[in-house]
Homo-oligomer: A and B are copies of this chain.
Amino acid sequence: MNPHQAETKIKRTANALAINTKVSVLAPGTVANLVCGFDILGMCLNEPNDLMEITLLDEKKVIIHSADGYPLPTDPAQNTAGAPLVEMINELDTPRGFEITIHKHIKPGSGIGSSAASAAGAVVAANHLLGNVFSKRDLVRFAMFGEKVASGVKHADNVAPCIYGGITLIRSIHPLDIISIPCPSLYVTIVHPQIEVRTKDARQILRKEVLLKDAIRQWGNIAGLVAGFMQGDLDLIGRSLEDVIIEPVRSILIPGFDEVKYRCKEEGALGGGISGSGPSIFMLSRDENTAIKVEKVMQEIYNRIGLEYHTHVTTINTTGVKILQD
């Protein structure tokens, strides 16, 4: 028995304390791969959010409904919200299950953590109904099974910020090591051009080897970005938002990327880049006024290019998935 299982065993007894059988949660969008922080840094957003309703069942069973008509796999193990719950109920010694209805407002394939919101929202809600028997770290561990269903890879850089809130560092996946990085209040502008970039494709175009000199520049930037967040040094954050490894390859898949980035920075944005594996692009700004000007620039560019798009102006969500009501 590993230490993890021991931890779970102890907490199972708290299960009996749960008194509510139904809850609604808001599961927020997230930005993974924060520019130089590929695969390790993620950020939670206040908008958009999925709305999820979840009911506790007395049998070992997971039922999922879509309130928006999205086609869902009937096997819960093949569903991004279902797979984490299947893992979770397997670690309980009493038969429990969940019925979930998902109102999906974060578009699948947008690059702002749609699958992570389903996975994270489901496990936070379920844990609430169980009397919070699992730690946040456990919840990330479960939610990663949803990411595996969605993209084939058990990554945590969306589900961790979705569950912890704020900016999270995934120092390591094996063993799972999640660190919350304090950060200043920042505005986030996001544009989602309506093209399809599949996570699997975005992974496949990356080179397996990188130049050492580029890797060094990247880890200088990641160190600067973490220090900038923790010291609230907005200029340092701006200088560190540079990606010399992933962005030059992946940005080719996103029409207008270079122009969006260049002109948003001209407009006053601290910097930004590809959200997740794209196609969404995010930009950080020090104030709302700048964030709105940045949004206008994005709109103007995609209007001219003639691509459909959505934009969001929001802030960093410091608390993650929100319990709405019992």
> Which A residues are within 8 Å of any B CB, using their own CB?
36-41, 169-172, 177, 179, 181, 206-213, 215-227, 230-231, 236, 239-240, 245
Contact = CB atoms under 8 A, between A and B. Distances in A.
Given A177-B239, A245-B215, A169 B223 contact: yes
B36 A219 contact: yes
A282 B207 CA distance: 34
Q: Identify which of A217, A218, A220 gathers the most chain B CB atoms within 10 Å of its CB.
A: A220
Contacts of A40: 216, 219-220, 223
14 contacts: A40-B219, A169-B224, A170-B220, A171-B221, A171-B223, A171-B224, A172-B239, A179-B227, A179-B236, A208-B211, A210-B212, A215-B218, A215-B219, A218-B219
Given A39-B216, A171-B220, A215-B218, 8 more contacts: A41-B223, A171-B221, A171-B239, A177-B224, A177-B239, A208-B213, A215-B219, A215-B245
Contacts of A213: 208
B220 A223 contact: no
Contacts of A219: 36-38, 40, 215, 218-219, 222
A240 B171 contact: yes
A225 to B, nearest CB: 8
Contacts of A212: 206-210, 245
Given A210-B212, A210-B215, A222 B223 contact: yes
A206 B211 CA distance: 11
